[in-house]
Amino acid sequence: MKKTAKKEPNQKKIAELVKSLLIELGEDPEREGLKKTPERVAKSLTYLTRGYRQSVKTVVNGAYFTSGTNHMVILKNIELYSMCEHHMLPFYGSCAIGYISKGKVLGVSKLARIVDMYARRLQIQERLTEQIADAIMKEANAEGVGVVIKAKHLCMMMRGVEKQNSEMVTSAVLGSFRSDEKVRGEFLSLVNG
C-alpha cells in the first residue's frame, strides 16, 4: 500500500484557535499589535512542524554515493531548532553525527536535512537523538552510527526552574559505535575536539 503525504495544517482553523487563546489569556485580538497575530502564529507553527509532512526517503532524495572506504564520516555543529512537546517552547543547539559506511555514503547536506526533519516536530531531545541515529543507520546502511546533541531548553530557562546556563547533552550509538570502545572513543574525541 502506498503511503500518502500528510496534508498541510488548516491555517484558518489554527488562526481561529490562536485568536481564542489570546482572548482566554486576557488580550484583545483586535488591538493594533495583535490584529494579524493569529495568522502569523498559524504560519509559524506550520513551518516549525513541517517535519511531520516529510519523510526520510524524500529528504535523502536518492543522494547515495559509492565509497571504496569504510572510514568514519563526521559532520558536527549542525544547528538545530525544535519545540518541546511538554510546553511547546523552543529548544535549540547543535548536533554531531558520525558513521562508518559499508560502501555508500549519504550526501553531506542530507545529514543536516535528516536532523531538521526530526527536529521540526514536537519533540523530546532524547527521542530526537535516537530518531536521527536510526535514520542514518538505515539510510547509509552503516556499520555504526553515533549522534550527540547539545541543546538549551527554553522551558528550563524561561519558566520552571529558570536555569539560564543549563545544557542538555544526549547521545545515541548504534552498531560498531556501541560495540567497539575504540570506535566510540574516536567519535567522541573528534566531536568534542
Left (φ > 0), alpha (ψ -120 to 50) or beta: where does 78 sit?
Answer: beta
Domain-located, residue 1 = no
pLDDT in tens, 73-88: 999 999 999 999 999 9
Asked if the structure places residue 142 within a domain, the reply is yes
Give dist(CA 179, CA 34) in Å, integer.
55
**2 within a domain of the structure (yes/no):** no
**Angle at CA 96, nearest 5°, toward 92 and 98?**
155
Tell whether 43 and 61 lie within a shared domain.
Answer: no
Residue 6 has pLDDT above 90, yes or no: no
We report the CATH number of the domain holding residue 95 as 3.30.1130.10
Examine the domain organization and report whether 18 and 74 are in the same domain: no
Written as one string, the DSSP assignment of the chain is: -PPPPPPPP-HHHHHHHHHHHHHHTT--TTSGGGTTHHHHHHHHHHHHTGGGG--HHHHHTT-EEE-S---EEEEEEEEEEEEETTT--EEEEEEEEEEE-SSEEE-HHHHHHHHHHHHSSEE-HHHHHHHHHHHHHHHTT-SEEEEEEEEEEHHHHTSTT--TT--EEEEEEEEHHHH-HHHHHHHHHHHH-
Residue 32 structural domain:
11-48
Question: Do 130 and 170 lie in a common domain?
Answer: yes
Domain count, the chain: 2
The model's pTM is 0.93
Grid coordinates in use for 81? 531548532
Q: Are residues 43 and 122 in the same domain?
A: no
**pLDDT (mean) for 148-174:** 95
Same domain for 85 and 43? no
- For 13-50, the pLDDT digits (tens) are 999 999 999 999 999 999 999 999 999 999 999 999 99
Q: Are residues 29 and 62 in the same domain?
A: no
Domain shared by 145 and 166, yes or no:
yes
Q: Is residue 4 part of a domain?
A: no
Whether 120 and 183 map to the same domain: the answer is yes
168 and 122 in a common domain: yes
Give domain status of residue 6, yes or no.
Answer: no
Tell whether 123 and 178 lie within a shared domain: yes
145/66 same-domain check: yes
In a domain, 135, yes or no: yes
- Predicted pLDDT of residue 5: 58
User: Which DSSP symbol is given to 1?
Assistant: -
Same domain, 32 and 67: no
Beta bridge partner(s), residue 104: 66
